[in-house]
Structures are given as structure tokens and as C-alpha cells.
Structure 1
Amino acid sequence: MKLGILSDSHDNLPFIAKALALFEREGVDCLVHAGDYVAPFAMRALLKFKGRVLGVFGNNDGEKVGLKKLCPVLVEP
């Protein structure tokens, strides 16, 4: 199993798109995000990943309720 690990995306949609393209090229099976999505629209972009998505909240994730609705597997670190 190949893991794709990223963090601190901070609503940066171009960064998220580049990471997802890299993960697809490399055949990544599971995306692990170490926090700081910041807002639900960033999570929506990450959920375009075709494999499993796991993650934890970061210190800048203020909209935890909205993020958790989109990705119920998110946990506190």
C-alpha cells in the first residue's frame, strides 16, 4: 500500500490539485492529511482523491463541524 502524506494545505487549492495529481501518478492508495485544511471547501477538493482519505485536525482548523460532516473519519491529534 502506498501512502500519500500532506499537511498544512490551508485552503490552497492549486497545492491540493498538484498533490492529488502527484498521488495519482505515483499510484497512491491512501491519502493521509496531518491537519490544517482550514475550511470545508479544501476538504471537498481533497475528497476528489480516488482512494481512502484519513486525517487529523490541525491548530488552524476552525470549521471542525463542517470538515467532519464531509469526512467523518477525521480525528483530534
Structure 2
Amino acid sequence: MRTVSIFKNGNNRAIRLPRDLDFEGVSELEIIREGDSIILRPVRPTWGSFAQLEKADADFMAEREDVVSDEGRFEL
């Protein structure tokens, strides 16, 4: 088991996360306490945040190839 030191950073307590425990490509962590444990999880986009993303241009994919051909289809 590895240990890290806790230090003061202004009015907060902080730790340094060792490089090999880094969350690659993540700039924000969720932190929760469960009993005497503190759990860090990467904050990832949710479906709720999907609606807040920038919308595609009106002509996005306006001209595109058919993905499914009519070959083998029959009229009803």
C-alpha cells in the first residue's frame, strides 16, 4: 500500500497525486467520502450535458452517400 502526505494549501488540505495514478486527459475529479475512505472519480460528460454541446451546422451531412442501398428490397 502506498501513502501520500497531506499538506495545507491556503484554507484547504491537499495531496499530490502520484504520476502513475494520474487520470489521463481528465481535468476535473469528483470526490466523495464513504466512511473513512475518500474516492476520486473522473468527471466525464453525461447525457444531460449532451444538450449543452454546440449544435452542428445546418448543412452538416446535407449531402452524403446512402449507407444502405435499395438492392434486395422489394415494394410492399
Q: Does TM, normalized by the shorter one, top 0.5?
A: no
Would you tell me which structure has more strand in proportion to its own residues? Answer: 2
Specify the structure having the higher radius of gyration (Cα): 2
Bin of the TM-score, shorter chain as denominator length: under 0.3
